[in-house]
């Protein structure tokens, strides 16, 4: 008699996750998703009040969560905070900012600010967490919330898109180095979602029309659209997936 192959588990009980930029928006949704899948989640951001409200919401939802103050653009501080957290099995690099401007008008200050958080931040948080994972020898998962702008360009987005393309390169290279340690490294690439980051874009009628015209599924993405992707890639159901990029873009980059 044949026996059926069994689907690997999508559950995350017994895992400890760190999500940066988790006080609101996509990071909060990722933290809630991981908690709903059974993980204990450490929510990181710079501003305490919003962070505590989000931790409270996850606990009220039945999840296990704690806050930690962290500025991802300060590698020295990041190293100390990560060390103090103990074992981390899942990292979600989500903290990110945007200072959109025409390429020929971008200031050095705006360039540095975006690179410091989106690239330098994700790089050195990953490094600190990966060092712990390698030392413990139990493997792990590193996910970065990249963007569809990690695969295509966009008007006024040359710096933002540069950081997201760089995250894709970091991910592939880290996947090669960390694979032998059982650490999987992947990105999730959402299309536009309404958050404080995109408020200005959505309030511009021309840009709103541009977004609507590019999404083949005919609707704007919601926070919930990212939640299944983060649970899947964090779980054993994605055990053979590394160095990959999961587009959650409603078909934007399909053409
Ligand atoms: P958001 O609503 O502005 O939230 C950003 C989060 O990052 C907040 O929790 C913020 O908290 C934190 N943060 C900012 N700078 C930080 C720093 N230096 N250190 C630590 N935390 C910091 O943004 P979002 O729209 O959710 O975007 C989250 C990620 O998804 C970003 O990487 C973004 O590029 C990416 N993404 C967004 C969209 C979209 O349409 N929204 C689409 C594709 C990709 P504090 O200010 O308190 O630190």
pLDDT tens for 237-254 read 999 999 999 999 999 999
Lowest-confidence region among 28-37, 111-120, 200-209: 200-209
Query: According to the model, what pLDDT value does residue 194 have?
Result: 94
Mean pLDDT of the chain: 97
Average pLDDT over residues 44-56: 98
Among 117, 197, 199, 229, the mutation site with the greatest number of ligand 1 atoms within 8 A of its Cβ is 197
Among 150, 194, 195, 139, residue whose Cα is nearest residue 172:
150
Among 22, 24, 26, the mutation site with the greatest number of ligand 1 atoms within 8 A of its Cβ is 26
Residue listed under structure tokens 């709903």: 36
Q: Does residue 198 line the site of ligand 1, with CB under 6 A?
A: yes
pLDDT above 90: residue 135: yes
The CA radius of gyration of the chain, in Å to the nearest whole number, is 18
Q: Does residue 20 line the site of ligand 1, with CB under 6 A?
A: yes
Question: Which segments of 61-121 does DSSP mark as H helices, in order?
Answer: 75-85, 108-115
Q: Does residue 230 line the site of ligand 1, with CB under 6 A?
A: no
Is the Cα dihedral 100, 103, 104, 110 positive or negative? positive
Separation CA 130–CA 53 (nearest Å)? 29
Name the closest-CA residue to atom 33, ligand 1.
Answer: 96
pLDDT above 90: residue 147: yes
User: What length is written for the chain?
Assistant: 255
Please give the distance, rounded to the nearest whole angstrom, from the Cα atom of residue 114 to the centre of ligand 1: 11
Query: According to the model, what pLDDT value does residue 64 have?
Result: 99
Q: Could you read off the pLDDT of 177-200 as tens digits, one per residue?
A: 999 999 999 999 999 999 999 999
Whether the CB-CB separation of 158 and 118 falls below 8 Å is answered with: no
Name the closest-CA residue to atom 3, ligand 1.
Answer: 197
Average pLDDT over residues 4-17: 98
pLDDT above 90: residue 215: yes
Average pLDDT over residues 43-72: 98
Contacts 24+ apart (CB under 8 A), 102-106: 102/156, 103/158, 106/158, 106/159
Question: What is this structure's pTM?
Answer: 0.98
Please give the distance, rounded to the nearest whole angstrom, from the Cα atom of residue 178 to the centre of ligand 1: 26
Among 222, 194, 178, 197, residue whose Cα is nearest residue 33:
222
Given pLDDT bands bounded at 50, 70 and 90, which one contains residue 1? confident
């Amino acid at each position: 008699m044949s026996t059926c192959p069994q689907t690997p588990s999508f559950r995350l009980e017994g895992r400890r996750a760190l999500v940066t930029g988790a006080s609101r928006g996509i990071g909060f949704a990722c933290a809630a998703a991981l908690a709903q899948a059974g993980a204990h989640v450490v929510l990181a951001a710079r501003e305490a009040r919003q962070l505590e409200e989000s931790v409270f919401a996850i606990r009220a939802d039945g999840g296990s969560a704690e806050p930690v103050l962290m500025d991802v653009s300060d590698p020295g501080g990041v190293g100390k905070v990560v060390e103090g957290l103990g074992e981390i099995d899942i990292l979600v690099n989500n903290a990110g900012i945007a200072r959109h401007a025409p390429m020929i008008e971008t200031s050095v200050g705006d360039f540095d600010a975006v690179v410091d958080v989106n690239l330098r931040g994700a790089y050195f948080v990953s490094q600190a967490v990966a060092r712990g994972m390698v030392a413990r020898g139990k493997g792990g998962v590193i996910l970065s919330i990249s963007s569809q702008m990690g695969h295509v360009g966009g008007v006024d987005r040359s710096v933002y898109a540069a950081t997201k393309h760089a995250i894709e390169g970091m991910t592939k290279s880290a996947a090669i180095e960390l694979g032998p340690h059982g650490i999987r490294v992947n990105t999730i690439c959402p299309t536009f979602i309404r958050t404080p980051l995109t408020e200005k874009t959505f309030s511009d009628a021309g840009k709103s029309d541009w977004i609507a015209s590019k999404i083949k599924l005919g609707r704007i993405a919601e926070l919930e659209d990212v939640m299944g992707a983060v649970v899947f890639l964090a779980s054993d159901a994605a055990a053979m997936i590394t160095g990959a990029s999961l587009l959650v873009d409603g078909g934007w980059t399909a053409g």
